[in-house]
Amino acid sequence: MSSAPQALVPNWRIRRGPGSLYRKIRSLEYLATRDRGEVWRFLAARYPVPFSAAARLELVRRFVETTNAVRGYHTNREMLAVARQILALAGRPGLTVVEAGSGKGASTAKLSLAVRIAGGTLHVFDSFRGLPANDELDEHLDGRPARFRAGAFAGRLASVKRVVERFGAIEVCEFHKGWFHETLPRFERPVDVAILDVDLLSSTRICLARLFPLLRAGGLLFTQDGHLKKIVETLASERFWRDEVGVHPPAIPGLGERKFLEIRAASP
């Protein structure tokens, strides 16, 4: 039996990765559907500094441009929600934003643009070699197992910097390279907004224990890991907040239901 000549067999495999047409079409589709509510909130919000409609649209365009070109692990809805909070604090003296977990730099580039407009500094913490070795076995909220391979999501510091130079605002970034348990204890300045995307329970614990107490009154910490059961259990544990973080347990809207969570530090 003879098989069909190779050239006559159509190749239906579509390229979906960064730079592909598929990805560009998908990001526009997401913007008009999944992300639409947050896009409107971001565009319509009141900000304490002049921020024209054209400049707001340009920021959204640059977020989409970055999504199309760089592998990222977030949605633009999430990044716009964080950008809106950063911009709500625009002009605050010493405005400090922290990102823990930058992956290939797509989220860092987007956040840096918002931080530049707001007049602040973005402190970026990552090993820049991916996740640490671990034996954690977690579960997604829907019961699927979640395991995290050492080295997953790695973006080398030089390559992350190139991404931020091209798509973001490198001049407002300070990079802190190393494992969180080594770098975070050396960081002591008051924080206005923090965002964690670190996957592992051990990494989440150290980030919360070190960063949450640094939040100024009313400051905000976001986590993109609310889809993982052990992280949800920890966030729900009064003991964790009291003994490891040293604060009264905060209310966390959507805990156990949403991946993207917002935790506000108590106001005085």
Ligand X SMILES: C[S@@+](CC[C@H](N)C(=O)[O-])C[C@H]1O[C@@H](n2cnc3c(N)ncnc32)[C@H](O)[C@@H]1O
C-alpha to C-alpha distance for 53 and 67, rounded to whole angstroms: 21
In this complex, which beta carbon is closest to ligand X, that of residue 73 or of residue 268? 73
Contacts (Cβ under 8 Å, ≥6 apart) of 150? 130, 131, 132, 133, 134
Contact 195, 100 (CB under 8 A): yes
Which single residue brings its beta carbon nearest to ligand X? 103
Find the shortest distance in angstroms from Cβ 77 to ligand X: 12
Contact 192, 211 (CB under 8 A): no
In this complex, which beta carbon is closest to ligand X, that of residue 94 or of residue 151? 151
Find the shortest distance in angstroms from Cβ 268 to ligand X: 31
Find the shortest distance in angstroms from Cβ 2 to ligand X: 48
User: Rounded to 5 degrees, what are φ and ψ at 174?
Assistant: -125, 125
CA 265 from centre of chain: 19
C-alpha to C-alpha distance for 176 and 94, rounded to whole angstroms: 18
In this complex, which beta carbon is closest to ligand X, that of residue 95 or of residue 131? 131
Task: Give the interface with ligand X as residue ranges (CB under 6 A).
Answer: 72-74, 101-103, 106-107, 126-127, 130-132, 153, 179-180, 197-200, 203
User: What single-letter amino acid sits at 199?
Assistant: D
Find the shortest distance in angstroms from Cβ 111 to ligand X: 9
Contacts (Cβ under 8 Å, ≥6 apart) of 245? 208, 209, 212, 213
In this complex, which beta carbon is closest to ligand X, that of residue 47 or of residue 179? 179
In this complex, which beta carbon is closest to ligand X, that of residue 74 or of residue 227? 74
Find the shortest distance in angstroms from Cβ 267 to ligand X: 28
Find the shortest distance in angstroms from Cβ 59 to ligand X: 17
Query: 199: left (phi > 0), else alpha (psi -120 to 50), else beta?
Result: left
In this complex, which beta carbon is closest to ligand X, that of residue 12 or of residue 231? 231
Contact 55, 65 (CB under 8 A): no
